[in-house]
Structure 1
């Protein structure tokens, strides 16, 4: 069986460098070898917030980010969650396969709850991993490029696929997570990099905005720059970021900076990031919103055809 890739993002704000090195780089490589579905998970925005915010604007910006980094709509099906009602109908039978205790102890859900902007945690939050299972399995996804923090969700998907097949007969493949080979980037404040926490460098940031963000990054008072992830995590993080953008080892960069201190480290990182983002910014400036909307409409149509076929298969297996 040929692999099918399912991946995507929630439209809660601009994509950042953590997204690029964590999953987008994998997508760019895989789009040349496998059928790929890229989900704009707009329904999932309300899992951890009371209002979806500037949802239409965020969807457009996300589309532009995808196209600017190099996702090819001729090879990739980009679609919107809310445009595929059949996909969401898979949630109910899938929820019947997972216990409340299994959902409650999911570490990614716990982290999302801790950083939720809701006044009270909704029941939808606990269904989030199963919702992602429906996203992956509707297209018979077999490979899921994810960051390390999303591994527990893929495990829930594997659990759902196995239990559905055991109960109703073989319908779904059991997908595998695909981790990026790049090291995990932390936020500029030393915490988890997240668009909602304001500690990331957006792919759409200007050169001046990028420079300002890196100037404000947390470091330490030791003038000698060394790469030590345990004792100097903030310095190591900037070295890692510069190394990823330059295609060089962070230890070698640290040796070059030497006693240049935090100012030299931030200057090097700023130059590396801006050089890396330059072609992405150029492609983004050439795109139009009308073109992006046309690409999304075509992707929605293709994804819905796949979802209708899968839902029919599920109903038949369940004898409905």
Structure 2
């Protein structure tokens, strides 16, 4: 079986937090570095800065470049290897919008309006009106994936409707236009259900979010981590140090489960339940465990922060590499369509 290709991406939101790390970056690096029994990479990985997608919910672009640099710096620090995986801005590879325009002709507005993920977004964001671009963002996602002939799409279950739209568009294009030599231009990508590890916010909310101010950033120093952990929500019934606790409802304990040694976690659970471990000391232990995890990321990040031109060069190189693949695909598209 040949090497499979995966495209993953994020909107340029600036510095990343632990939720991004556990929910995406760890998986990205694992897929990038996964080897088969012969020592060859299983996946060819591409990492997209989805700056056009960010316009679907906000038209503000004044800080988008700085946010991009901050985000990419965190990607690199967390282990994304630009030699293995091109990193590129969507807006710098114009073939994305070209393919998006073509795909937009192959799907109806009513089909997009039935997208359950879109309905959830409209509800969650209390949107009174939806733009044409927001309605069509699954079509742009389809262009993102298929432009690089993505075979595998790692998604949570809530994103499955988007993969199905991508498959429908690929199928419709192949039926309408056949390449004179290749036949079907696009392979229908397969969804790969991935359990994205969600990390609760410091305030106990379901997830970390910059807008809620409940995050620990990958760039936070050990002192900053300690300071933030002091305010983290624990078991509201454990008022005094010697009160027995309930680790299963404690945000800090959920962090221990992720960042502390398993044997340490077992000890912390026992001591919390018995009342031998107070919340203040538990938070100190947790802050230490998190900072130990972040230490190599911080060290690597500092190298890129002091050399901003290196990050820009990585983007330019990645964009050139992505553009070559994208143009090869679009040449096939144009030839199949007898257009352009």
TM-score by length of 2: 0.82
Which of 206, 209, 220 lines up with 1:194 in the alignment?
209
Given that 1:50 and 1:119 are in contact with CA atoms closer than 8 Å, whether structure 2 keeps it comes out as no
Equivalent residues of 2:48, 2:90 under 8 A apart: yes
- Give the match's secondary structure for 1:48: coil
Q: Distance in 1 between matches of 2:263 and 2:174?
A: 45
Partner of 1:309: 328
Aligned to 1:226, which of 246, 255, 260? 246
Match of 1:104 in 2: 113
Partner Cα distance (1:112, 1:38) in 2: 24
Deviation string 1:5-33 (CA, Å, 9 cap, x unpaired) is 10111102222222222221122122232
Indicate yes or no: 2:338 matched with 1:319: yes
Provide the C-alpha distance between the structure 2 equivalents of 1:249 and 1:122, rounded to a whole number of angstroms: 51
Contact 2:235 2:246 in 1 (8 A): no
**Aligned residues of 1:143 and 1:177 also touching (Cα < 8 A):** yes
Alignment partner, residue 242 of structure 1: 256
Contiguous gaps of at least 5 residues in structure 2:
34-40, 179-183, 239-243
SS in 1 for 2:88: strand
2:136 match: secondary structure: helix
Q: 2:90 aligns with which of 81, 100, 105?
A: 81
Q: Secondary structure at the match of 2:8?
A: strand
Question: For residues 282 and 111 of structure 2, what CA distance do their matches in structure 1 show?
Answer: 44
**Which residue number in structure 2 is paired with residue 160 of structure 1?**
169
Question: Is 1:123 aligned with 2:138?
Answer: no
Give the CA deviation at 1:84.
Answer: 0.5
Q: How much does 1:148 deviate?
A: 5.1
Distance 1:102 1:218 in 2: 43
CA distance in 1, matches of 2:263, 2:102: 48
Residue 80 of structure 1 contacts residue 300 of structure 1 at CA under 8 Å; is this kept in 2? yes
Instruction: Note the residue ranges of structure 1 that are not aligned, 5 or more in a row.
Output: none
Q: RMSD of aligned C-alpha atoms?
A: 2.7
Whether the 8 Å contact between 1:103 and 1:126 is mirrored in structure 2 is yes
- Larger radius of gyration, structure 1 or 2? 2
Q: Does 1:274 align with 2:291?
A: yes
Deviations 1:64-103 (A, max 9, x none): 1111111111111111111111111111222233333432
**Contact 2:151–2:187 (CA<8 Å) still a contact in 1?**
yes
Taking a change above 3 Å as real, the CA distance of residues 62 and 103 of structure 1, as seen in their structure-2 partners, is: same
Aligned partners of 1:151, 1:213: CA distance in 2, in Å? 35
> What per-residue deviation string (whole Å, max 9, x for no partner) do you get for residues 215-243 of structure 1?
33333412233344xxx3xx2x4333222
Give the aligned length.
314
Range with greater deviation from structure 2 (162-171 or 3-12): 162-171
Matched, 1:291 2:306: no
Summarize deviations over 1:276-319 as a string: whole Å, max 9, x none: 11110011011211111111101100111111111121222233
**3-state DSSP class of the match of 1:38?**
strand
Q: 1:226·1:251 contact (CA, 8 Å) conserved in 2?
A: no
Contact 1:222 1:261 in 2 (8 A): no
Distance (whole Å) between structure 1 residues aligned to residue 314 and residue 163 of structure 2: 28
The answer as to whether partners of 2:260 and 2:286 remain within 8 angstroms in 1 is no
Match of 1:134 in 2: 143
CA contact (8 A) 1:243 1:250 kept: no
Contact preservation (8 Å) 2:7, 2:45? yes
- Decide which of 263, 270, 273 is 1:255's aligned counterpart: 270
- Within-5 A mapping of 1:11-22: 11-22=12-23
